[in-house]
Amino acid sequence: MNNPPTAANQIATKPANPPAKQPADPAEPTGLSATIFSPSAELSSALSAAVLLLSGWGVAWFADKGSTFATFGAALIWGALAIGMVYGGKAALDSLREGKFDIDVLMIVGAVLAAFIGAPAEGALLLMLFSISGALEELAMAKTKRAIEALHALMPTKAQRFDEVSQKWIEVPPESLVAGDWVRVASGELIPADANVRTGSTAIDQATLTGESMPREVKEGDEVYAGTLNTANPIDITVVRPASESSLAKIVDLVTKAQQQRQPLQRIIDKISQPYAIGVCIGSLVVLLIWHFALGVAWLGSENEHGRGGAIYTAITFLIVCSPCALIIATPTATLAAISRAARGGVLFKGGQAIERLSKLSAIAFDKTGTLTVGKPAVLDVQAVAWSDGTELLAVAAGLEMHSTHPIARAIVEYARVKGVTPRELHDVKDVVGRGITGNPGDPRIEARLGSLAHTLDVIPECLRNKVREVLASVQTQGQIAVVCATGPVRGTGPCDSTSAGQAAVFILADRVRPGADVLVERLHALGVKPVVMLTGDNELTAATVARSLGLDAFHAQLLPQDKVRHVSRMKRELHETRTGHIGVIGDGANDAPALSAADVSIAIGSIGSDVALESADIVLLSDDLAAVPWCIGLARSARRKILINLTLSLAAIAIMATFVLTSRLTGISMPLWVGVLGHEGGTLLVVGNSLLLLAYRASEPHGPASAKALGAAPVK
């Protein structure tokens, strides 16, 4: 079988695939009904009603009573009322069909009663403003849900798959791809499925998923994700899971479910909304009866032709100002806006409960390996203890390790690449299990070894062995990793001077901290989150090095999973007893499950490709940048403040306007129905607008430059 040409040798000429068009939701109205009752059509109709209402008012104001112009003005007002009845009536009927007596029904009742007592203009104003606020609310909700639409649009419509039978590249829909398929992705095209890079290297823009501004460099063996953009060279990839099971598909599903969940406060409001609406009707009836029978107010009043001093008019005004429209949407609008803003920043909130708990976070515990650090060592330095500067031994070490997949091997090869050192060609390279690796540099008398001191000791010249031991001891006291590379005759025979073939060097390595770790503690403390604790199974020295480098408040090392749970449970109990907040645990989503489960809120980081994290954690940070942690805490707290402001505004508006209505007979200050209407609907619009401000939340970007450096390492110049 002939192998197809690799993508690295091809020149991409095809443009990026267009976004996939999503099928219509079968639950949504279609055809003419969907057009007429869409939010944009409702808004246009409501604005048309406003024009009719203002025109009718203007004509009626200047026309003589009973004249043709007065009749025409009245007709314009009734026309505005009719438009409002179309949209308000449909919403009310839909609610009644579902067995609900809610705000939609209240508004229709209020408008019909207003028209009944000879105040069609007030009824038209009520329905017109109600339609406008309802349409704007729907449009606002749609705006907050565009994160899902944007994620859907990331999916390409085609993929280039290599066909084993015809030995040709064929175009197929991404949905048909299965694990093991060989796919080509040209420059400028979207990755069609989660896959591993087979051949080539390129830069992948995954900002739409992780929020990171800089493309990620990938090479052979690295994983790439569906919906991300190939910005540089063409590559060949091997599919690891079908498109329907990709990380992007799971993220879309999570965001969808999150937007459907309710905060605890919202669930309470949902439960009481119908009894409250019924209570408002009963309260309005009580006002009507008291005003007429106890206070002696006429049913329709006698102050003017519309009966604005009558008991019915007062009861209708009370019904409208007490309607809980703004109260009902106070929480969901802010919650959806926060979820959508977080999704744009590469953070998945799994519903309102996660936002609520995160907003109350006052202490946090981090795992180390894979969380505070990336879990991959990097070479800090090569300390030569022989007759050279270590460059030659770096070439030897890279030659020994160039075909190994061990993390230390990869770190050494990468360090050589960065330093511009070409790996030396070695023969008879062999692994010695548990000790290191050996090879022959071309001289049968000389052996090259890399690994532990015990493994390399025989080829280290005797005069250098004590120096190697000193360097190793110094490195280990700092909690760093050290391996020895040495060349020479076995058992260190030969002269111990610069003419000797024997050389030795100590490679000093350390795990790399994640991007954003350098500002993590400072930003968390600024938010009042303290202590910031590290829980790790690593040794005491390594843990102390990481804690000191990052400025952590405390750390606990050499912990088993049950030990981590014990520490988290203790901190949780102390916080709950003192009512000072919640404890959060951040891990890599796989081996931290017990501790994550024990916390008030669990956060998984760097988990775009982790099924475990996507399913188990309350909050998922898709990028590797720890700066997203304080950012999303700030967003959650901002959302909570918005909700409290919304609820305060809603309740205050209801209380103030209801008080004016009920005390009008005592104070002599009556509230015209149109003022109550403006106050009610204005409060609704204010709540929606306040919530939408969350979509512009910044408070320092969640992702800075994507760079991770080793502990104690200076940046490579």
Give me the active site residues, please. 367
Q: What is the Cα–Cα distance from 173 to 155, expressed in whole angstroms?
A: 11
Phi and psi at residue 584, to the nearest 5°? -115, 150
Judged by phi (left if over 0) then psi (alpha if -120 to 50, else beta), residue 34 lies in alpha
The answer for residues whose C-beta is within 8 angstroms of residue 528's C-beta and 6 or more apart is 362
Which tokens belong to 106?
Answer: 């209240």
Task: For residue 518, give the amino acid letter.
Answer: D
Q: What is the Cα–Cα distance from 520 to 522, expressed in whole angstroms?
A: 6
Q: Map 243-306 to HEC letters.
A: HHHCHHHHHHHHHHHHHHCCCHHHHHHHHHHHHHHHHHHHHHHHHHHHHHHHCCCCCCCCCCCC
Which tokens belong to 620?
Answer: 């998922």
SS3 377: strand
Cβ count near 708 (within 10 Å):
18
Please, what sign has the CA dihedral across residues 303, 305, 307, 313? negative
Inter-helix orientation angle 264-289/352-359, to 10° = 100
Inter-helix orientation angle 517-526/628-662, to 10° = 30
Which tokens belong to 216?
Answer: 């990620």
- Smallest CA-to-CA distance from 232 within 8, 4, 5 is with 8
Which tokens belong to 709?
Answer: 């450096």
Q: What is the Cα–Cα distance from 170 to 183, expressed in whole angstroms?
A: 9
Burial of 375 per CB tally in 10 Å (0-12, 13-18, 19+): middle
Phi and psi at residue 643, to the nearest 5°? -65, -45
Q: What is the Cα–Cα distance from 259 to 250, expressed in whole angstroms?
A: 14
The answer for residues whose C-beta is within 8 angstroms of residue 418's C-beta and 6 or more apart is 716
Q: Does residue 619 contact residue 632 with C-beta atoms inside 8 Å?
A: yes
The answer for residues whose C-beta is within 8 angstroms of residue 79's C-beta and 6 or more apart is 49, 52, 56
- Match 């976070």 to its residue by tokens: 361
Q: Does residue 342 contact residue 348 with C-beta atoms inside 8 Å?
A: yes
Q: Are strands 373-384 and 503-513 parallel, antiparallel or unpaired?
A: antiparallel
Could you tell me the strand order of the sheet in which 216-218 lies? 216-218, 202-205, 229-230
Half-sphere exposure of 15 (CA within 13 A, CB side): 2
